[in-house]
Structures are given as structure tokens and as C-alpha cells.
């Protein structure tokens, strides 16, 4: 895994992040939001892009509008998965996309989206979970996956690789993956339910635990675990990019479910699209 420094930019009062190595690809655009520059209040302050925490929907819509505007996109360009901590990967096709023009375009029971259609904006939400951006620069085609411990240890990122190979004819060795800021390996303590689940996982050998503060409560490293899974799927280690920015340690920048101890909070969003 290559550890990279995030690119940061500020437009329309919004700070957002990006992966500098992809700026050379003029046929895509992507970004990852921070929590600044929106209209939400209280625990959602201020650029909350998710409806699920209990924020005022009108505020979320305005925040989404502001964030998407930075990329020259509108609310009705966005498609997200329902995000149920599953492993389902959905191919977003043009026919579906143009048949359902509304801001609530959500693919049920889905945590990962792939497409080769220009103009389709893939979005994923998180508050500690890992959002991974996939690019096949040859086809070209893109993917976006949401993964917490359950999705990670169920191999959802492997599912994205398989789906891109199957639907687009992508070669694993030409894929590039960028992992956005998520909860870091030193902050993500897990317990019995996770350990039991991991013990039965097909990917058990790839799961990276670090010693915890108390017995039977190790830390789970989402980025290193997903790196191992991607490598096993044939992605070149030098084309898998992570970073050291922990959402829990940087709550001035990001929403963190763990950081706020499970209380209501907002969501940041990653988006990617082919131009």
C-alpha cells in the first residue's frame, strides 16, 4: 500500500479532499467531503450529507447541492447505495439512471456501485467507515464502495474487483484503488461479535488486528485489511493507496460515529464520476 498525503481544496466555503495522483486523469473527477461549509446545526454541523442520522432533510439537500456544485453536478445526478453493511455490488446502467431522476435515487441493499457511463455520479456516505474509490483508467470505468468491519471482513472490495472484471473486462492489474479517510487502526477497538465474525470469514488470513488496551478487544485496521484483500485479488500493491488521516482523531474535519460514542452525527460523502 502506498500511503499518500491527501489533496485539500476549498470552494464555495467547503473544504474537501481528493487524491492528487488522479488529477492527471482528465476523464474522471472525484472528491471526499469534510464537515465544513454547510447549513446543518448541532451534532450535524455543518456539511452533513446523509439523511440517516436524523438531520433536517432540507438541510441535507442544501448541503448536497453545495457539495455537488463544486464538481459541476446537481442533486439529481447522484446515485447512492442504501448501505446495509452487505456485499452487494450494483452496476449502474444508463437506462436505470435516466429513468429515475430524483434526489432520492438509492439502490436498495447495496454497499458498492460501479459504472462505465459518463455523467453518472456515484456517491457513498460514512462516519468512520471506509469509502474506497476504484478506477480502471484503460476501459475507463469506476467504482465506489462503503465498508465497515462487516463489509470489509465479508470481502466487499473483492466483490467490486470481480464485478469490474466481469462487466467491463477490466484487468485486476490495471485497477487503481484509493481509500479515503476512515477510522484508523489505533482507534477502532472491536469486541466479541466482530472477532467471532472474522473467525468465520473467507478472508480471515487478510484481517489485520493490532494489540488492544484490554484483553479480547484488539484494534481492527480497515485499510490494511482491505489492502491485503485487494492484493489477493490481483491488484498491484503499488496501485493501492491509503492515508493516515483518521476520522476519529480529526473530528474538527470529519464526522465520527465512534468519536461521538454512537450518538447521532452526520455523514461525509465520497463521489466519483466519469466526465
In angstroms, give the least distance from the CB of 4 to Zn ion: 18
| Cell of residue 42, nine digits | 448541532
Residues 34, 16: contact at Cβ < 8 Å? Answer: yes
Residue with smaller CB distance to Zn ion, 45 or 187: 187
In angstroms, give the least distance from the CB of 233 to Zn ion: 27
Angle between helix axes 156-168 and 222-232 (nearest 10 degrees) is 40
Residue with smaller CB distance to Zn ion, 168 or 254: 254
Q: CB count, 10 Å around CB of 116?
A: 21
In angstroms, give the least distance from the CB of 148 to Zn ion: 15
Residues that bind Zn ion (CB under 5 A): 184, 187, 246, 248-249
Gap between the Cα atoms of 220 and 241, Å rounded: 18
Residue with smaller CB distance to Zn ion, 75 or 248: 248
Residues 144, 123: contact at Cβ < 8 Å? Answer: yes
In angstroms, give the least distance from the CB of 243 to Zn ion: 12
Alpha-carbon separation of residue 80 from 102, 107, 109, 135, 199 (angstroms): 12, 6, 11, 17, 31
Residue with smaller CB distance to Zn ion, 165 or 249: 249
In angstroms, give the least distance from the CB of 87 to Zn ion: 26
Amino acid at each position: 500500500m502506498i500511503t499518500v498525503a491527501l489533496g485539500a481544496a476549498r470552494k464555495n466555503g467547503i473544504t474537501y479532499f481528493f487524491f492528487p495522483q488522479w488529477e492527471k486523469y482528465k476523464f474522471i473527477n472525484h472528491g471526499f467531503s469534510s464537515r465544513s461549509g454547510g447549513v446543518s446545526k448541532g451534532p450535524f454541523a455543518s456539511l452533513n450529507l446523509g439523511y440517516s442520522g436524523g438531520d433536517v432533510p432540507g438541510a441535507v439537500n442544501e448541503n448536497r447541492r453545495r457539495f455537488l456544485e463544486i464538481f459541476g453536478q446537481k442533486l439529481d445526478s447522484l446515485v447512492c447505495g442504501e448501505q446495509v453493511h452487505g456485499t452487494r455490488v450494483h452496476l449502474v446502467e444508463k437506462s436505470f439512471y435516466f429513468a429515475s431522476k430524483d434526489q432520492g435515487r438509492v439502490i436498495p441493499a447495496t454497499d458498492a456501485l460501479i459504472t462505465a457511463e459518463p455523467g453518472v455520479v456515484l456517491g457513498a456516505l460514512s462516519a468512520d467507515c471506509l469509502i474506497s474509490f476504484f478506477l480502471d483508467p484503460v476501459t475507463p470505468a469506476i467504482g465506489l464502495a462503503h465498508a465497515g468491519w462487516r463489509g470489509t471482513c465479508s470481502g466487499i472490495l473483492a466483490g467490486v474487483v470481480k464485478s469490474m472484471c466481469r462487466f467491463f473486462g477490466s484487468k485486476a492489474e490495471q485497477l487503481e484503488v484509493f481509500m479515503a479517510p476512515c477510522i484508523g487502526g489505533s482507534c477502532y477497538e472491536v469486541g466479541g461479535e466482530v472477532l467471532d465474525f472474522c473467525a468465520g470469514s473467507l478472508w480471515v488470513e487478510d484481517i489485520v488486528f493490532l494489540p488492544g488496551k484490554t484483553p479480547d478487544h484488539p484494534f481492527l485496521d480497515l485499510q490494511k485489511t482491505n489492502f491485503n484483500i485487494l492484493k489477493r485479488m490481483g491488484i498491484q500493491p503499488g496501485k493501492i493507496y491509503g492515508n493516515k488521516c483518521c476520522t476519529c482523531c480529526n473530528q474538527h474535519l470529519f464526522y465520527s460515529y465512534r468519536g461521538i460514542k454512537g450518538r447521532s452525527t452526520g455523514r461525509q460523502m465520497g463521489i466519483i464520476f466519469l466526465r
